Structures are given as structure tokens and as C-alpha cells.
Amino acid sequence: MKKKKIEDVFSSIENFSSVPPPELWAMIEEKLDKPKKKKATAIWWSLAASLLIGLAITSGLYFNSNEDDTLIKNNNVVLDNQENNSKSNTTPSTINTTPLNSKTTITVAESDNPVTNKTLNKNQESTKNTTTSINKKNKPSIQLNNKTISIAESSKNNAKTSSSKVNSTEVDNNLNRDKNAIITSSNVQSTKINESTSSASPNKTEVGNTINKNKTETIVSNNNTQSSSKNGTNNSSADPNNTKIGNTINKNKTEAIALNSNIRSASQNDTNSSLYKQNITEVNSNLKTDQKKELALNTSSEKDLISFNDSLNKVQIALELQQLENRLNNKEDKEEPKAEKDLLKEKWSVGLYAGIVNSQSYGNKKTLGNDIESKQNTGYGVKTNYKLNKKWAVSSGFKINELGQSVANVSYYNKNQNTLAAGITNDFFASNPSVEYISTNRNYVFSSDNSNQKVQSSGTSNLTGNIDQQLQYLEMPLEISYSILSTSKAAIMLNTGGFIGKLISNEIFLDGNSIGGNLDVNNFVYGSKLSSTLQYEILKQTRLFVEPGLNYYINPLKTQSFNQFQWGLNFGVNFGF
């Protein structure tokens, strides 16, 4: 007898083929058009999310810029003759003899906090079902003929006082039967579960749930008896619950029966007046029956068909819901090409990056009477990224970033030099309530053009210089990314989020020389980020990326004007694992 290795034994099934059950084509045909709807839905959701983000950013900028305009007006403090005269009476006599007595204008930052945080909170929450009671009032309507049995049930539930929006779940259940399963029995059990908090509580929680369950009771039927069933759709009994259930049983010849159950459950949840957005989940699931079990349908006993098992407990419901969720998750990923799946294998990635940033402002902001100019700095950092699914990811990390600004041709006085030469003592600055020091180095006082002219007209020398201010932060961003393009090698993502920064360096440079830090600086800053990432795989699991983006700092300084926008261009490399 011929000897064989194990591979040889199984080589006979190398090209094994088996005719699939006939009902599978019907199911495939039915599902062929559904993904398009999903895609369309995803696009609309993406557009809506983008619009929302855009509106939030625009609104934030708008309100912020309005308040900054007010700030600019408040920044210029003019000390006219009259005011100074009254005040100068209390100053040492030496000041009365100086030209500064006539008119002194000192620009200082003086206003309320320029920034009011505008936050847009959005709560999206889908309510999970928990079982408390079973509503037996729902009775599905039945349509029977030789080919089709359809069960449709709808019920509505309108919550009078709810401010929450509808959270609906659509479930398609296909119940397949094997060959030779002449008859099927399925009991569609719809359960409306309402759970509410105590009447004394202002919070009201209402949960809608619909569950299909196969029932193993055996009922005998044949096609001839089905014709005696009613044709047409019967509406379900009026029920205030907002649950819509449609079940369709398709029967192909006499061999297989598919049960499609469309379930829409609406749950409304109003808790502490928060607004819940509409969250629609569509779940397709296929429930299989055991080939060996023979279940029969007795159409003469329609009541049995729609009866349900009262002994269904919470655990069973939770398990079924979990299965539906799992199936939903499985289906979301089913269309990934191999390249995308390879990318998805790498759930985590770590990236190193560095780049240039350009800080600037909008709205002709001024400080010390001069226009604020943009300033270019550098930034670098590390970030880690976690893929939630093939489209969405979250990332965080650390970044050393610099926010800066320049002000050109600023007149200033060095108390150790100019003012003393002009006869001004430190007492003047100390006693004048309108004088505020920008720099931690109190030898320097900056003035606007008006006071500068006065000083010059009196023959007193003054200095002009360029001020560069530089604030360095250790930032921790938190971003969410959406992949708009993903191929085997390249990907493009849109990122948005926020960051918190801790001040680690604060310096003012006057003509390139450090004169200390800014007194008005906040130690912690907050802001928002918007960027896009273009990455390309150069080696396995190694990708280069370039990341143009925009940062907005809400509160770099307490009262003074400062560049709040920052354009950046980062270059980096990330490693997937």
C-alpha cells in the first residue's frame, strides 16, 4: 500500500469546493447596497464634525479678538498735564523741574484679563440598555404568504420633558436555516425596557431596548398552511414607546428561511439638563440555528410565534447586546484592503519631530504703542499615537515650544542712565501709580511715542530699541486624528485638539540683550491645535512625516497683548509597533 505524508493526505482537499447554502446569495444581495449608505453616513458625520470644529475655533477667535480690541484701547494710559500736576505735587520737588512734568505718556498694559475662555462642550452619549422590566404590550404584526413572512412592529415613545435627542439602534438580524430545514420557528421578542430614577430625582432615564430571541419551541407548519395566513401589514398596537421593530422572514423555496429583523430602539436620556446628540448605530447580525434541531412553524398558532420568554433575564440581554456590538465592530473593519490592515496592525506609534514655528497676531495688535510683529522660533517634541480604528486615532506627548513676538523702535529709559541724566530719580517711577514695569529688570521703563517726543523736545537723550520677547513652554497636547487618505505607503490625517503648557523660560531681549523676563506672563497656558499630517513609509514600520499646523494660545500673558497664533511646520519620523 502506498505510503503518504500528512501533507499528501490532505492534498486531496487542496482544491476542495462545496456549494454554499442557497440562502447566502440572498443575504449577500441584500447587503450589497448597505455599505454605500454607511460611507455616505460617515462622510456626513465627518463633515459635521469638521464644521463643528471650525465653528468652535472661529467663535473662539472672534470673541477673543473682540476682547483684545478693547484691551488695546485700554492699554494706552495718558497722563495729561492736569493729572500729572495734581500727582506731581506729591512728588519730590526735583521732578517739578524736569520736562517730564509737562506731559508724560507711559504705555503700560492695563486691562482686565484679555481672554475669556469660550468652551464648547459637547456631550455625546449613547445609552446602554439595562433591564428592569419587560413590556409585553408590543405585539408584532405578521404578514404571511407562501414566500414571505414579515413581521413588523412599531411603537413610539415620546418623552415629554426630554431635552435629549434620540439614540436609536437599528439591528438587522438574519436568521438562517440550513438545507432541509423545511420549517422554521422564530419568536421575535421585543422588549421595551424602561428604567427611570426615583420620582424624587430630577433626572430621568429612559432606556429602550429591543431584543430578538430564537425560541426553541417546535411548531409544525407547511407552505400550504401559510397561505391561510393574513396578507398585508398589520400595525402594532398603539404603544407610547418609541421603539420600531421590523422583522422580515424571507423564505427561499422550501429550503431556507432568512429572518431579517430590523430593530430600532429609541432611548432617551435626560440627565442634569445635558443635551444628548443623536447617536445612530446600525447593527447587522446573523443568528444561526442548529442544523440538528428541527424547529417547525405552526402558522395556525400565530400567537406562539410572537410570544416571548418571560424568563429572559438581565444576563441574557446583556450577552446578546454584547454580541451585537462585537459584530458591529467586526463589520466596521471588513472592507480594509491588506495595506490598510497592515497599518492597523500597528496600533501604537511613537514619533520624534522638530520644526519651525511662527508666532503672530491678527487685528493689528499693539504693545508699547507699536505694532506687534511676528517672530520665528523653533519647537521639538515626542508624541505617541494610538489607533482607535482605521480612521480615528488619538495622540499625546510632550513638546518644547516657543511663543514669541517682536516690537520695533520702542523708546525706553534706563533708569541708571537716561533718567538720572535728565534729573529723574527712581522715586518717580516708584510713586507714579500708572507706571508698570514690563520687565523683571526694573531699571528699564518703556514709553510710547508721545512721551518720547516730550523727552526729546526737552533735550534729554532717550533710547530706542527692538524688543524681542520669548516664552518657552513644555506643552502636552492631546489630539484626535482622522485619516482622510491611507494607502500602503502614504497617509494624510487631520488632527485637532488642545494642549496645556507650563512656562519654562521667559525672556525679554532689548536689542539682543536679555533684560529679564516679562512680569505679566502666565505660568500655565492653554490652547487649541489644528494640523494635518502627511506621512510616508520609508522602511517597515518607519515613516517620515511633515505636519503643518496652527496653534492658538488662549492666555500667554495676563494683561498685555501678545502673539497668540502660531503657524508651525514640523518634520519628524515615527515608528509603529
CB 515 within 8 A of CB 506: no
Per-residue cell: 157: 415613545
Q: Contact region for another protein (CB under 8 A) — 10-18, 105-113, 241-249, 555-563?
A: 10-18
| 80 touching another protein, by CB under 8 A | no
Strand partners, 349: 385, 576
Largest CA distance in the chain: 127
Shortest Cβ 24–another protein spacing (Å): 6
Residues that contact another protein, how many (by CB under 8 A): 43
Q: Which is nearer to another protein, 8 or 427 (CB)?
A: 8
Which are the contacts of 342, defined by CB distance < 8 A and separation ≥ 6? 488
| 10 touching another protein, by CB under 8 A | yes
Binding mask 324-343 for another protein (x = CB under 8 A): ------xx-xxxxxx--x--
From the list 130, 229, 286, 434, which residue makes contact with another protein (rule: CB under 8 A)? Answer: 286
CB 378 within 8 A of CB 400: no
Residue 180: how many CB atoms within 10 A of its CB?
10
Shortest Cβ 532–another protein spacing (Å): 26
Strand partners, 79: 104
Query: Do the strands 279-288 and 167-176 form a parallel or antiparallel pair, or are they unpaired?
Result: parallel
Q: Which is nearer to another protein, 336 or 373 (CB)?
A: 336
Q: Contact region for another protein (CB under 8 A) — 13-21, 111-119, 433-441, 458-466?
A: 13-21
Q: Contact region for another protein (CB under 8 A) — 20-28, 160-168, 315-323, 459-467?
A: 20-28
Chain centroid offset of residue 320 CA: 29
From the list 21, 99, 363, 498, which residue makes contact with another protein (rule: CB under 8 A)? Answer: 21
Q: Contact region for another protein (CB under 8 A) — 6-14, 45-53, 498-506, 553-561?
A: 6-14
Shortest Cβ 34–another protein spacing (Å): 9
Q: Contact region for another protein (CB under 8 A) — 8-16, 317-325, 360-368, 421-429?
A: 8-16
| 485 touching another protein, by CB under 8 A | no
Phi (first) and psi of residue 147, to 5 degrees: -105, -30
Binding mask 167-196 for another protein (x = CB under 8 A): ---------x--------------------
In angstroms, the Cα distances linking 21 to 177, 358, 478 are 9, 64, 50
| 128 touching another protein, by CB under 8 A | no
Residue type, 487: T
Counted residue by residue, the chain has a size of 577
Separation between Cα atoms, residue 504 and residue 483, nearest integer Å: 34
| 8 touching another protein, by CB under 8 A | yes
| 303 touching another protein, by CB under 8 A | no
| 2 touching another protein, by CB under 8 A | yes
From the list 128, 345, 347, 502, which residue makes contact with another protein (rule: CB under 8 A)? Answer: 345
Shortest Cβ 212–another protein spacing (Å): 17
Q: Which is nearer to another protein, 78 or 344 (CB)?
A: 344
DSSP per-residue letters across 194-261: -----TTSS-EEE----------------HHHHTTSPPS-PPPPP-SB--EEEEEEEEETTTEEEEEE
* Residue of 365, 350, 404 whose CA lies nearest to 521: 404
Shortest Cβ 332–another protein spacing (Å): 11
| 9 touching another protein, by CB under 8 A | yes
Q: Which is nearer to another protein, 35 or 92 (CB)?
A: 35
Per-residue cell: 88: 506731581
Shortest Cβ 485–another protein spacing (Å): 16
| 459 touching another protein, by CB under 8 A | no
Shortest Cβ 147–another protein spacing (Å): 18
Site for another protein in 232-271 (CB under 8 A): none
Q: Which is nearer to another protein, 14 or 310 (CB)?
A: 14
Radius of gyration of the chain (CA): 36
Straight-line distance from the first to the last Cα atom of the chain, in angstroms, rounded to the nearest whole number = 52
DSSP per-residue letters across 406-448: EEEEEEEEETTTHHHHTT--HHHHHH-TT---SBSSTTEEEE-
Q: Which residues bind another protein (CB under 8 A)?
A: 1-21, 24-25, 27-29, 31-32, 35, 176, 286, 288, 291, 330-331, 333-338, 341, 345
